[in-house]
Amino acid sequence: MIGIPASEAVLFYARMKKSSFIGFILILLITCSLSTKGQTNTRLRADFTVKISIANGGQSLTSGQVFYDRNIRQLIYYLSFPEREIWLTADTVIYQIRNGQIINRTPSFSMAEFSVFHLALNSRLQDFGLRNTTYKIEDVKREKDMVITTWSPPKQAQEKLGNILISVKNKQLFGVVFTSPEGAIVRKQFFEDYQVINGMPFPGKIVEVIIEEGKESYQVTTFRNIVVDDIENDSKYYVNTGSLR
């Protein structure tokens, strides 16, 4: 087993997210906002554990608490292990913060709007938020107890983006498969162990697989003690990066 330093884990985390949408062109294809109209749930916090296994044998374990407010749109992980620090996604940057100091900035796409937290709070997890993009449904089929929908990108993006397959089981998102323009699978996600909090379904476990050069890397995230519309931790939902050194 090869341990991954925290800074490398941040970079790997960003790379896993970035690889799902090449250059994250998907954000540029949004045709309408992820509306919050009619929704009542605003915040979510949970204890989390992330286990990463890279194809070269490297492994890491990270745990702590995550906080997200859909109106503020900062995705904030307060790590307690392996060391105390904050991983903050704000706009198009992932910040690694330790002892009140920014020790690393990693450019990324705006992940908050397509995070499981934002999609669940806005009741858009079932279709992975794709209904609000210029992706179009190409095919729908049933396989045993699942409904699988194939979403295709618009013609102007097909040189860089492949299809996305969404599987729904028991009216809940079960799997997401991303393909290259050539049709090869490059990333898979599986959503398991759902809980229903305040009427909102939320997965207790997410398994993510990145495939590069035929080799697979894994990220397994588990959530416990999930709280929706937390009113006791206001200061945890926003980090003023301008005040940090």
**Phi–psi pair at 133, nearest 5 degrees:** -125, 180
Helical H segments across 61-161, by residue range: 116-121
17-38 residue pLDDT tens: 444 443 334 444 444 444 444 4
CATH classification at residue 211: 2.50.20
Q: Does 215 map to a domain? A: yes
C-alpha distance from residue 2 to each of 52, 55, 56, 105 (Å)? 11, 11, 9, 24
**pTM, two decimal places:** 0.85
Q: Does 195 map to a domain? A: yes
**Contact between residue 196 and residue 206 where contact means Cβ atoms under 8 Å apart:** no
Q: Does 111 map to a domain? A: yes
**Contact between residue 177 and residue 165 where contact means Cβ atoms under 8 Å apart:** yes
**Phi–psi pair at 25, nearest 5 degrees:** -60, -25
Q: Does 92 map to a domain? A: yes
Q: Does 90 map to a domain? A: yes
pLDDT reported for residue 107: 85
What number is the average pLDDT over the span 38-47?
A: 85
Q: Does 227 map to a domain? A: yes
CA 19 to CA 24: how far, in whole Å?
A: 8
Supply 215's token pair: 């080799």
Q: Containing domain of residue 119, as a range?
A: 2-32+40-237
User: How many separate domains does the chain show?
Assistant: 1
pLDDT reported for residue 39: 58
127-167 residue pLDDT tens: 998 988 889 999 999 999 999 999 999 999 899 899 999 99
Supply 220's token pair: 């397994």
Q: Does 242 map to a domain? A: no
Q: Does 244 map to a domain? A: no
pLDDT band with cut points at 50, 70 and 90 for residue 110: low
